[in-house]
Amino acid sequence: MICQNQPHSTDTRRWPPRVTARLGLMILGLAWAGCGGDAFSPSFIDYLDPSGQVATLDNAPGHLVMSFINNAEVDETLLSYLESAEGGGLVLTDEEKRNLRPRLRFRLQVTFGDGQQAVVEFVDGSTKLVQPTFDSSAEPDLNENDLDNFVVKCDVIRVEIIEPVEVFVPVELTTFQFVEPTGTEQGFFRPLALIPPQFQPLLPDEVDADGNTTLRRNVGIRDRAGPVDNPRCGAVIGVIVDGDLSVPFRGPIPGFDVADLESAASVGGRYEFRITVQ
């Protein structure tokens, strides 16, 4: 074996079954590669050297695996709307429903001991959530990039997410403004603008000086993923996300009152991020 250090864990929580299964294959791949096998072929995992170029295992001093595990789900109200005629008539099999995942993307920055850095964009999630009418040329990587794992050489001093993480909101949102009543007319909500389907940055909650939440957004202050410093050779770093993709509704229509800050801040849903080391 090239790497002598054994995979270890800095997280005492149990990994979800999807995480354990995937990382088990990766650890097995590391062992096979150390015995001369070609576990890290392009179809299995992507391998980068510090300069970002494709490298081979023959002259690599060791390996550090990084994987994105998307355990987030789609809110039932949003899914029901997507399946309706008004929402586009999305058709899913039972298996597709079970495996449906929000489309998430973020950049992971790896800093090496010699000061060089590599930045890789992870994209994962169900392409079924992208409506056929969506202009894919506006987001060319939306359906083409599905990188959710890669391997680098072991001289790594830090791994960290470059915020923000983004989620694709698959529906058009309508913003409304309340028109005050007059002597002759009752008050009503007037449509203002349409927000097309697009990637939405997931923003942290706003807090006051004492750490109390003043505006609930997409990610709690304690649910953001911190950096990993000086990971051991042979480790498997998992970026794990849990949560739900959701949008606010005004009656049957996806949208929100522009004066309702909580509804506006909730667009995209609610998530928890953590980085684990095995």
Dump pLDDT digits (tens) for 31-85. 334 433 333 333 333 444 444 444 444 444 478 888 999 999 999 999 999 999 9
Spatial strand order of the sheet with 188-195 comes to 188-195, 173-179, 253-257, 249-250
pLDDT score for 233: 87
How far apart (Å, rounded) are the C-alpha atoms in residues 42 and 44?
A: 5
- Identify the pLDDT of residue 144: 61
Q: Measured between alpha carbons, how far is 158 from 114 in angstroms, rounded to an integer?
A: 12
The reported pTM is 0.76
Residue 26 scores a pLDDT above 80: no
pLDDT at 219: 96
What is the average pLDDT across 202-208?
A: 95
User: In the predicted model, what is the mean pLDDT of residues 243-270?
Assistant: 95
CB-count exposure of residue 46 (10 Å: 0-12, 13-18, 19+) = middle
Identify the pLDDT of residue 170. 93
- 268 pLDDT band (50/70/90 cuts)? very high
